[in-house]
Structure 1
Amino acid sequence: MSVINLDTLQAMAEAAGVPVDPRRFRANLYVSGLGAWRELDLPGHRIRLGGAELEITFPTERCRATTVRPGSATRDLNVPALLASRFGHLYCGIYARVVRGGPITVGDRFVDGGPAATVRTPGPGPGPGSSRYAARLAEPGRPRYAELIGRTEESPTVTTFAFRDPAGSRCRPGQHLRLHLTDENPPLWRCYTITGTGTAELRVSVKRVTDGRMSSRLHELPTGSRVLLSGPYGQELTTPDPHRPLLLAVAGIGITPVLPVLRSLLDTTPLRPVTVLNVVRTGAEVPLWDEVVELLAKLPDGTSRLYVTSPGERLPDDARAGRPTAADLRALSAEGTVEAYLCGPEGFVDSVRTALMAAGVPADSITDEHFYSPRPARLDERPPPAAGPFTVRYTVSGVSTTWTPDNGTLLDAAESAGLRLPSACRAGACGTCRQRVTGPVAHLSEPTVPPGTGQALLCCAVPAGDVDVHA
């Protein structure tokens, strides 16, 4: 059965600036008094409600169906976009199963009986006590509360935070988390690279930024605090080619993905040649560098390059003053065969990419990581800018079709042509349907995850001319 927390809907309404009708969610039960988003801390718990006992199973991911105004066929509020842009995830509500039947009436108290023993001690079989059921409670993409269990000061401004989280062992090198502070108004969430994992542990390293709301709040959290997180998000960084040279070029706090990548190389392809190029502003602010150098020393072909742009009175022994030159990067390009990963400020990433491509490194051998600050997305839907007809070619599939507004989005058109392309929310909020495109497109719903140059979210994009979709 489906349960909606009315306190959460109130928080959503405040963020949207319009009422959010509970009927959009077609729940079996509506509860209040928990506090906004506290229901996401309940999966695995037993709940007493009236004469019944329930076990909370999983949070509920929301899709395009919630955009329709109750009592009509009109889509007037993009609920997935509201959730994704304001709150950083797509979940609202929880599922429950009935453990013991009984009467429930309006006004009954919602009593949290704590974690169910069957979930704490999983056993064999397909039921709620099984390990499969317990594992699903830690599904990485779902928002869940995690306990802050430790912190390490890496530099005067950078702290590593360790969280107890069952999804820790599922994370891959280069992926990131979203941390959500549910008591902030307006809502507050940010992305942080995962710098380390354990069996039931995740670590992120955060730089405290002057006037940064999120980083300041995190640095003030005491050990034992429970923080809502979601993820991991993103793809694994490197290909498993043991012979191809790897360049990790980073600047500032962009060093955070390097640690899990190096640990992965030690476990999987220790003979792979790897160079870490790190650019920092001062020698007094070089977070995580000692650990990077220590890991590189364990690799037979690991090399470090540290550049300090404003060395002042202190220049580390292994550092060079200034920035890497085009000649420096050309020397690291391995005659164009290197696989490069870039992370740092936009200017740094652009300059390194340009230098590597000038040295003969193909564009598809260079990956860069861009985190984005949350931005309010439009919650209404625009009409198509042009009526067509236009030719849409799905180049990988070899399918071509003629598009008019009656065909809907590029995803709708693909499905009508018999294609099954990746998709999830169908509201421009999750990024699952992102594909490369050539030609003019327009997004009817504003994407909450920027698709990038030459890309489109097929679930909410339409052609504005003839288009090739590389799928």
Structure 2
Amino acid sequence: MNQLPSSQFHTGEIAVQQRLGVADMVAQYSEGFIRPAMPDQHREFFSNLPMVVVGITDHEGYPWAMPLFGQPGFVQSPNAKTLDISSSPVLAETLKINFNKNKKIGFLGIELHTRRRNRMNGMIAAISPNGFSISVDQSFGNCPQYIQKRELTWVDEPHTYFDSKDLCLMHALDSRSTDLIDSTDTFFIASRTQIFSSNERSGIDVSHRGGKPGFIKIEGDTLYFPDFSGNRFFNTLGNIQSDGRVGLYCPDHATGNAVFISGDAHILWDAESAAEFEGAERIVSVKIRSSLFIDNFLPMRGTLQELSPSLTHTGTWQKNQPEHNSEGQARYRKFTLTQKVKESQDISSFYFSPADGQALSTYTPGQFLPIRIGQEGADTAILRSYTLSRAPEKNAYRISVKREAKGLASRMLHDTFNIGDSIEVGQPAGQFTLANNDHAIVLLSGGVGITPMLAMLHGLIRDIEQGAKPRKVWFVHGTQHSAGHAFADELSTLAKQHAWLQVHTVYSQPKPSDKQGQDYDSAGRISVDLLKHILPFDHFDFYLCGSAPFMRSLYTGLSATGVAKSNIFYEFFSEGSIEDNNLEATPTAQRAEIHFAKSNITAIWTPKEGTLLEFAEKQGLKPLYSCRTGNCGACSCKINAGAVSYAKPTAYTPEEGAVLTCSARPAAGTPTISLDF
């Protein structure tokens, strides 16, 4: 197998990187990302998991992806080069797996409720009646992109949950498999290099794929899925380039059903194929060789809590797509601004109607609307998503936008958009919607976070008008003062019309002219103590939308009072997670000279420039990155001189002498930094 000796990648991966023009960049920044042994944080992570996914070939060389389950601790790492697993593939006989010593194996640890994952590839070192051991060849982390948030719980004891009798492989998908795949938002794919050798770069890899339900398309004996932007290493695509044989595992975490597939994959490089799916960089096809549907297979179950925020600007396969736009993309329609209403000193509502006179796409209150704003003299449009601020109506979408001083799109909408101007509108999307139950509801919003809450409230009113039973609703909103209080009259009118609705307004900085009891109800900020005072004893669902500190404070406070996390709903897009409360920035320099050694560029950094990654991009450089939040390590770069600081601890720990440019800034007292790119 021909191999570049200095590369961490095999020839298939390098071929894909070269085709897409990123090989030099990847070679420059990937050193140390793929390790020959597991770091301690990966070893500890694996040992705490109740589920992992492995990739192993059958006797004909086709890889299969399959899960292993056990109580936390069923995976142990006695040293950095070894994993011991006290479980065995229960489908080995059914799938004719070549489960023997010295065989290549891929290994993925994934924690759905935190969106953490790490990968390892190696070789089966030993097999015993209680499990097997893996000798590590490659260990590397992964970013949390495209992982859907779920909390899995046991419904059956591990090792006793499954009976393999009466199972047999099929050469096509049955209707049960098709239904599951059509609705899935997650699958795992095992892929392999063409040749297995002692070279650690050869072997099997197993990886996660996520998308909105409907992101896999089935046509006859072939399925198609989009390849989204990732870390640019192209491990899976590189394997497909090398060999093409793959295995897919599609779980239904709600029912416990699962589909297993083996087949032959091909990469569809043409732009027309990618244009069929919003957000796809390319499409992968898999011709199905064999499949297996298993009812009630999974011993752990859990419902979807939140789709990955990385999926905001991705779509689904559409059987009847609208006409293509000028870029060959079938996802946006031309709309016209029909009304513009100022709701407060910095928030305005914008009403958009279809220019073609056709019907609007329906949506669920709480979802957002993707829009594209053209820029005169620019080749690219501005892409943004804004929450729809009312329930569906026949003739127009309404978004309500805060004018941000540094927000290009919001300033254009507020300052330059006039009635009759055009905009491109995508399909409404998002998972921040009301749960389907009869619980009492508390809507908690801060500032412009009022928009999804208002839409949800209008949706409840519409449902009640159509015969639904009323639910008690408390609408608690916080803002600075009356000048910034959007929709005040609208909420006041609704509260008078509906006995089941209670509105409570909190001003943090009331103006001298603001009257308590008339303009607002409480002074200060929304807190758990305030909620205890105004809410009766009941079982509530809480919905949060506002700034990151606002949401973190309420989430932490509600959890501390005993509110179950399953009764707290939110949509969180800020750095870290909603459970991170210690995000005070460590001291940074006020000025530093940054030298990009290999590019021979020197420039002055100040705090307004942001992270080192953002600063490098402003210099015209194209550093490697993936998650941009310190979770994956893709942006790891050697630092030749100087020191950096991080606003918060990163999930990924870079090698000694390296920094994560996506999260790092020059540390206080550091006049000069030299980075190795």
| TM-score computed with the length of structure 2 as normaliser | 0.37
Looking at structure 1, the residues matched to 323 and 567 of structure 2 have their Cα atoms a distance apart, in angstroms, of 33
Q: 1:310 is matched with which residue? A: 509
Q: 1:137 is matched with which residue? A: 322
AA partner of residue 168 (structure 1): L
Residue in structure 1 matching 2:388, options 188, 191, 194: 194
Shift of 1:236: 5.4
Aligned counterparts, 1:41-440, within 5 A:
63-64=226-227, 73=241, 89-90=278-279, 137=322, 142-165=331-354, 166=358, 168=360, 170-183=362-375, 184=378, 187-196=381-390, 197-219=392-414, 220-235=416-431, 237-242=433-438, 244-268=439-463, 269=468, 271-316=470-515, 317-319=518-520, 320-331=522-533, 335=537, 337-371=539-573
AA partner of residue 434 (structure 2): T
Aligned with 2:470: secondary structure?
coil
Looking at structure 1, the residues matched to 551 and 510 of structure 2 have their Cα atoms a distance apart, in angstroms, of 21
Q: Is the 8 A contact 2:432 2:570 kept in 1?
A: no
Shift of 1:353: 1.4
Looking at structure 2, the residues matched to 138 and 77 of structure 1 have their Cα atoms a distance apart, in angstroms, of 22
Shift of 1:248: 0.3
Aligned with 1:367: secondary structure?
strand
Shift of 1:227: 0.9
Q: Is the 8 A contact 1:194 1:204 kept in 2?
A: yes
Cα separation, partners in 2 of 1:79 and 1:265, compared to 1, 3 Å: farther
**Which structure's residues are more often helix, by fraction?**
1
Whichever of the two has the greater Rg, that structure is: 2
Q: Is the 8 A contact 2:228 2:280 kept in 1?
A: no
Looking at structure 2, the residues matched to 272 and 360 of structure 1 have their Cα atoms a distance apart, in angstroms, of 22
Looking at structure 2, the residues matched to 351 and 261 of structure 1 have their Cα atoms a distance apart, in angstroms, of 22
Q: Deviations over 1:133-171 (max 9, x none)?
A: 9975399x9322211121111122211111113563511
Looking at structure 1, the residues matched to 393 and 319 of structure 2 have their Cα atoms a distance apart, in angstroms, of 18
Q: Deviations over 1:411-466 (max 9, x none)?
A: xxxxxxxxxxxxxxxx99xxxxxxxxxxxx969899xxxxxxxx9xxxxxxxxxxx
Q: Is the 8 A contact 2:353 2:397 kept in 1?
A: yes
Shift of 1:274: 0.2
> Relative contact order (alpha carbons < 8 A, sep ≥ 6): 1 or 2 greater?
1
Q: Is the 8 A contact 2:446 2:546 kept in 1?
A: yes
Looking at structure 1, the residues matched to 510 and 269 of structure 2 have their Cα atoms a distance apart, in angstroms, of 50
Q: Deviations over 1:262-300 (max 9, x none)?
A: 111112245200001110012211011221222233322
Structure 2: state its 5+ residue gaps: 1-17, 22-223, 243-265, 283-317, 325-329, 576-612, 637-650, 652-677
Looking at structure 1, the residues matched to 349 and 228 of structure 2 have their Cα atoms a distance apart, in angstroms, of 40
Q: CA RMSD in A?
A: 4.7
Looking at structure 1, the residues matched to 512 and 20 of structure 2 have their Cα atoms a distance apart, in angstroms, of 58
Shift of 1:260: 1.7
Q: Is the 8 A contact 1:237 1:341 kept in 2?
A: no
AA partner of residue 302 (structure 1): L
Matched residues, number: 288
Aligned with 1:63: secondary structure?
strand
Q: Is the 8 A contact 1:79 1:379 kept in 2?
A: no
AA partner of residue 341 (structure 1): Y
Shift of 1:360: 2.1
Structure 1: state its 5+ residue gaps: 1-17, 22-60, 94-132, 383-426, 429-440, 447-454, 456-471
AA partner of residue 452 (structure 2): P
Q: Is the 8 A contact 1:251 1:278 kept in 2?
A: yes
